[in-house]
Chain A
C-alpha cells in the first residue's frame, strides 16, 4: 500500500527565513510519481511540482526547491526567503505510474509566515 508521511503538522517562521517541509513516502512500486500542492485558505489546490521516480535531480523554481532522495524515500520541499503569501497548507502526494490512479496525500503541513 502507498503511504505519505508529513511529520510536521505546523511550522511557523519569520518572513525571509528559509523553511523545509519534509515528506517521506512508502510504496512497493518501482516507478511512481511524487507531487507537492499548496492549499491556501480559499481551499483550492495549487499544483507545484510533479516528479517521476526515475528523475532524482533536484529542482529549483524561483524560491522553491525540491530534494528527491530515493534512497531514503524522501521528497522534501524548501522555500527560500519565505514570504507572508507562502502561508498555506502544503501537501505531498504519491501516485502510481499507470497514470489512471488517484493521488495518495500526506496529512499536510500548515506553514505560517509571520511578518
Chain B
C-alpha cells in the first residue's frame, strides 16, 4: 500500500543550527503534503500546507522564515528548521493525501540542545 517515509526519525542538534526533515511519498504522487507539529502530550497542530511547485501556505503563528518548506517534486517535501532553538524541540510529522486516506510519515523527534 501507499507509504509516506519521513527522515530522520530523530535528530539532536545544537542551538543555532539548521535541521532538514524529508518527507517522501513512496508509491504515489502527492501534490499536497502537510506538516504538523506535536508538543509532548499535546495534539497534532497543522503548521503548513506544502504544494508542489508553489509556495507553502503557513498557519497563523508559524514563522515561514524559520520553518522553510520546499516541495520540489511530486514525491518529496522538506521542512527545514532554521536557527533552531530549544523551544523548537518537538515531534514533527508530515502527511500526504492518497486516494482513500491521509498517510502519515513516521515522524521526526527534534531535540535542540
**Could you list which residues of chain A lie within 8 angstroms of chain B, going by C-beta atoms?**
35, 37, 42-45, 47, 50, 91, 95, 99-100, 102-108, 110
Contacts and interface: CB of A to CB of B under 8 A. Distances in A.
B91 A44 contact: no
B53 to A, nearest CB: 15
With most chain B CB atoms within 10 A of its CB, the pick from A42, A43, A104 is A43
B106 A103 contact: no
30 contacts: A42-B106, A43-B91, A43-B106, A44-B104, A44-B106, A44-B107, A45-B93, A45-B104, A47-B101, A47-B103, A47-B104, A50-B100, A91-B43, A91-B44, A99-B97, A100-B97, A102-B34, A102-B36, A102-B46, A102-B95, A103-B44, A103-B95, A103-B102, A104-B46, A105-B43, A105-B44, A106-B43, A107-B42, A107-B43, A110-B41
Interface of B: 31-32, 34, 36, 41-46, 49, 91, 93, 95, 97, 100-104, 106-107, 109
Contacts of A50: 100-101
